Amino acid sequence: MVLFFGMLMTSCGGDKKASTTETKTTETKTTEVKKEEPAAKEEAKTEEMKDFTKFTADLANGKKVYSKTCIACHFTGVSGAPALKEGKYKLEDWQKRADLGINTLMHSAINGKPGTAMTAKGTCSDCSEQDLFDAIHYMYGEAKATIANK
């Protein structure tokens, strides 16, 4: 039993003096970093984007999702988010985003929008793509903005 624990300690790095016949080798690994061309990055980005133009919105579900999560920023316009609250609402804030198209809006909703307060899924970690799609259509409908089908 003592011999077993002695061997175990030695193999786990216990008593380093006990294994004097051990030979150490050092292997150097080189990693090649390949820089992508800007066009290749844009192409890869385009491939990642899913086509949401064929989805159908469930506005009742969209209202639930909005009320649960989106309202926190989109009612009053926190941190530059387009607002739905009377007195803060501006159609042009909603329409300029709507003109980007549903695929871009969904991409921003799913991944967040760098440089803004829009986080991935707008902090609704349990929302599905369909939930986000529904919420977007609900909000833009309330804003009376027309989402481009692109």
Q: Is residue 104 part of a domain?
A: yes
How many independent structural domains does the chain possess? 1
Provide the residue range defining the domain that includes 130: 53-142
Look at residue 67 and tell me whether its pLDDT is greater than 90.
Answer: yes
Q: Is residue 37 part of a domain?
A: no
Indicate which CATH number applies to the domain containing 69.
1.10.760.10
Q: Is residue 102 part of a domain?
A: yes
How much is the average pLDDT of 101-105? 98
Look at residue 66 and tell me whether its pLDDT is greater than 50.
Answer: yes
Q: Is residue 81 part of a domain?
A: yes
3-state class of 10 per DSSP?
Answer: helix
Q: Is residue 125 part of a domain?
A: yes
Alpha-carbon gap, residue 63 to 47, rounded angstroms: 30
- Sequence-distant (6+) residues with CB within 8 A of 26 are none
pLDDT of res. 49:
80
Look at residue 20 and tell me whether its pLDDT is greater than 70.
Answer: no
Q: Is residue 103 part of a domain?
A: yes
Alpha-carbon gap, residue 121 to 127, rounded angstroms: 7
Between helix 102-111 and helix 129-142 the angle, nearest 10°, is 120
Q: Is residue 122 part of a domain?
A: yes
Q: Is residue 40 part of a domain?
A: no
131 phi and psi angles, rounded to 5 deg = -60, -45
68 phi and psi angles, rounded to 5 deg = -80, -40
3-state class of 68 per DSSP?
Answer: helix
**CA of 115: how far to CAs of 19, 45, 78, 108, 112, in Å?**
56, 18, 14, 12, 9
This prediction has a pTM of 0.68
